[in-house]
Structure formats: C-alpha cells, structure tokens
Structure 1
C-alpha cells in the first residue's frame, strides 16, 4: 500500500490497475462465446468493440508517457480508425479469428503496457490528456476508472456479475473526482460520477468529466 499523500488520500498505483484488469478478465472469461455481439449495457457499441475500446484506452495512456519528452499539448499521433460508422475510433483492434480468448489477451497486453509505464515513469513526468495534463498516477487512475466502468457495461451486456473492490473505487474517486461527495459505498458513487446510474438525491448525470490534473 502506498503512503497517504499530503491531503490524506491514498494514491492509485500500478498494482491497483493490474488487479482491476485481472479481476475484469477473470469475470469476462465466463461470458458465453455467442454473447459478444450484443450491446454493452447502455453503450452504442457491442461487447467486442467495448473491450477493444478499453484496450485502446489503456494503450493510449501508456504511449502518452512513452516519449523521452511526453507531449503536453496533444496526443502521440497514432492513427485512430473506426471499423464501422458509430463504432469506437481505435488504434488497437483484436483479430476476430482469435475469438474471445484472443480479445481478452489483447486487453491484458494493453493493460500490461500501462502498468509498466506507471511503474517506471518518474512521478514528476507530465503528459497530455484532454481532461488535464496528468502525471503517472493520474494515468493509472484513468486506466483504473476505464477498466472498472467499462467492465460494468460489459457485465450488463454479457449478463455477468461485477462488483469491484471498494478500495479501488475509493482511490479512483479521490484521484479523479475530488469534488464528489463521499459515500459509504464508493462503487455506486463511481458509477454515478461516470453517468451510469443515479443515487438518492443525485439524478443520473447526462454530462461528466474527471479532473486528471495532479492532485495533492
């Protein structure tokens, strides 16, 4: 466990991201091979596309930290392409012939790149994200949120149970949604913060964003 920061929060680590991805992959392996063409929860993408999108997110965060001098005013210029109108614009695509097992291997591989970059990049490094120039911990937190909430979308589409560890959710909220009202159950709060549910006294968000700038 990392030491608390000056503000008292516990930082998000590479180990947090690695654990979340392994839990997600373990859950998704239980899906029926015939279910991957269905919609992922409320998303417009099917479940296969959503895993590709998640893999692409993790890859994109890793490569932002990759250059000797990471860019702070734009993305590393990989080409992002849609395979169909309305589908996700990705640089990462899985070979359909590999089936769901290959798709999840792509997810694990992309996650491993980000885990490795977070572990090895100096904490003072900064790199661009549209929601705020961030540090390695911020990219770990963004990867963690992407993994937790997109696995929620996938679990809905694939009819699978998914409740991630509360401590992971709490650390992600503290890092990326510092103004979110505290809750005894951080998982529903994270779903609310990312526009996926409502909470008592808090209607479902129709627009949302996190704050990826470094936090104390």
Structure 2
C-alpha cells in the first residue's frame, strides 16, 4: 500500500490500542512479554503501529514503559479494556483500532485493510474478531456500559459488542490469514514461532 493510499485511510483520526490486559492463564506467563524478533510481543506491536501514522498508540493494560490505560475493572476480558480506553480517549478521535498483543505475525496490511473497509459503522474480521475498528459513536459508550454491568457477564464478549453496534464483519483475505494467528497456549506459540522462522529462511 502506497503512502498516498495510506493517507487516504485517515489513520491520523484513529487511535490504535493494543489489548494486553488479559490474564494469560493458558500461556502460563505474560504474553505481552514473550520474546519475539529481538523484542517482546508488546514492543513489536507498538513499534509496528507507531509507523502507520495513527493519531496515538496506547496499550490497554498496566505497562508503565508504554503509553497505557489500566482497566477500570480488572480481569474482565477485552471488552473491559475497550471500555476503559473509550472512556479515557473516545472524545479525542473518530475511530479506534484494537489489536491483540498475542498476534506475533501481525502486519501493517492486516490493520490498514480494516480502515479501508470502515464505512462509519465499525468493522472486524469475521473469523478472528481482532483487529477491529470501532467508530466513536454516541451508541458506543452506552453499549459498553451495558455490557460491563454485572448482570451482563455472560453476554460480555467481543462478538456481542460488535453485533450490538452493527459492525461489519469481513472475510479474512487468504494473503492475511497467517498474520492473524494468535498464541494463547505454549503449543500455539511454538507453532507460530516455527512458522515465522520458516518465512524468514
């Protein structure tokens, strides 16, 4: 994608958020701090997004070495991280792009593809849910407030959030499928590292 095309996607009106506040219980260690390509997953993702011209790049989670926003209600999943970021920064931008920290092969194209398909309603990848681009609409904070209520615990999911907001699901292009693989377990992490090594060789 050329620089001219990138500018036409208006990343300067979008805040990019790295969701990194999860428990990492299945991995057995903090996924954000896993070493990959000479740095941590968090530092790699932050560096990637910082090169794309976003208005701001922040981390959802308690990582003092980066611009970050702590979850107002800890350990309640990615929706809680989204809610905290929208409450803190939602009035400063038109859109927010949310990416997961546990996608080691994430590429710039994977993120920019969503901006290209964002037509004012929000958009996400059907098969992976993240990355996702949300529009800072009047409806968004109210929907998040509803999902964060204790009585909504069973409905508190990314899929429910996106469906309630009417976000548009798009298919993952084959050329981007590997870039969206996430590592939740040591086995998945091993497989992704092997795949990355094969691509580099």
Give the TM-score of the pair, scaled to structure 2. 0.30
**Highest relative contact order (Cα 8 Å, sep 6+), 1 or 2?**
1
Which one has a larger percent strand, Structure 1 or Structure 2? 2
Give the TM-score of the pair, scaled to structure 1. 0.29
